[in-house]
Structure 1
């Protein structure tokens, strides 16, 4: 069994640090769209690689890679949403749990599939740029527009896009 508790704790802390800010989300709408596209591409590639296509883009990639990966339920409980204090479109606790379980794998994904990038980094970066999202009827809703999810195969076939901070900032300057 692989469980990197420290990595899971770091991811929970990172998710808890996100602040839902509608004006920042609007200011970052282009980069958030880019990050959403890259999230879909990466999770599609991972889903195909580990046989976790059902439930994509929020399928249990960690469980498909290591069925015994475990995260302390008390750690996941920290991610429960308080509707009175969180703004619109927060990350769903079930989605956050999938991300934390992935983090708990530590270096195992890179060891087994060195050619694939972290599937959840684009999503975590996206919410860190000012806001959350919702998922409905085949779309990821970013609050100012919808992004089609598409199929696993079509998303997996996309070319990667850079998501470094400088590139994201440059994308937002054009908005």
Structure 2
């Protein structure tokens, strides 16, 4: 019998938009960038743990964890049918994600779920492209993976709530700011088409205009607010989301 989590993953892959809708991918460029960085970090952890460094970053980890593992025939047939609808460049990792989910269902695995960030990435805009030099075109943003050892040291990005991911997506060049003592809401400064937009993330879970950063600029001091990275900003947004939902 196939467990529910593996079947649910198959449904997610079937439901993803593989049509190459660039607008959808562009709308989620920032969150997709963070999700890809988290996948690369997790892939580095798994590759190091199971001797798969030569295959990093996009590989089927199941064959390293249990080389004799096979999907049940019925599930294998469902996966084959599903992959026919998946964009060609994503078929390898989508198949790997389903096999990993089936393996994971048999028992606890200490390392974090390798493929969840990548599945979320696909759900938010489809596949990515990789050129011969290793550059990853995520649609709207490109990144070049560093060495495996560098990704092992990356900060984890663990804020996968859809509302948080949506809040991170916006057009323009973005910097995040917060009170120096980390109290209060997260702020962002967004530069888009030569216009500056200062915004605050509110308990109503939306970005609204604010003059806090402008007033700090006019005073010529950075003691009130400090700039933070996007991963820390995501954690603060997530805290606001959870506070609004009472969880």
2:229 paired residue number? none
Alignment check: 8 A CA contact 1:91 1:133 kept: yes
Runs (5+) with no aligned partner, structure 2: 173-247
Alignment check: 8 A CA contact 1:4 1:103 kept: no
- Answer yes or no: is 1:124 the counterpart of 2:119: yes
1:75-114 mapped onto 2 (5 Å cutoff): 75-81=78-84, 91-107=89-105, 111-113=108-110
Runs (5+) with no aligned partner, structure 1: none
- Answer yes or no: is 1:13 the counterpart of 2:45: no
Deviation digits for residues 116-171 of structure 1, max 9, x if unmatched? 32111111001111222122221221122321122211111111023322331221
**Higher RCO by CA contacts (8 Å cutoff, separation 6 or greater):** 1
- Answer yes or no: is 1:161 the counterpart of 2:157: yes
Deviation digits for residues 65-115 of structure 1, max 9, x if unmatched? 112221233122113345xxx7xx665222211111111112457x241xx
Query: Whole-Å Cα distance in 2 between the matches of residues 18 and 12 of structure 1?
Result: 10
TM-score (norm 1): 0.81
- Answer yes or no: is 1:147 the counterpart of 2:143: yes
Query: Whole-Å Cα distance in 2 between the matches of residues 5 and 69 of structure 1?
Result: 16
**Equivalent residue of 1:103, what SS?**
helix
TM-score (norm 2): 0.59
**Equivalent residue of 1:143, what SS?**
coil
- Answer yes or no: is 1:66 the counterpart of 2:66: yes
Alignment check: 8 A CA contact 1:32 1:126 kept: yes
Alignment check: 8 A CA contact 2:60 2:93 kept: no
Alignment check: 8 A CA contact 2:135 2:143 kept: yes
Q: Which runs of 4+ in 1 moved over 6 A?
A: none
More strand by share: 2
**Equivalent residue of 1:70, what SS?**
coil
Query: Whole-Å Cα distance in 2 between the matches of residues 106 and 112 of structure 1?
Result: 6
Once the two structures are TM-superposed, the CA of residue 31 in structure 1 deviates from its matched residue by: 0.4
1:171 paired residue number? 168
Aligned residues: 165
Cα RMSD, aligned residues only = 2.3
Larger-Rg structure: 2
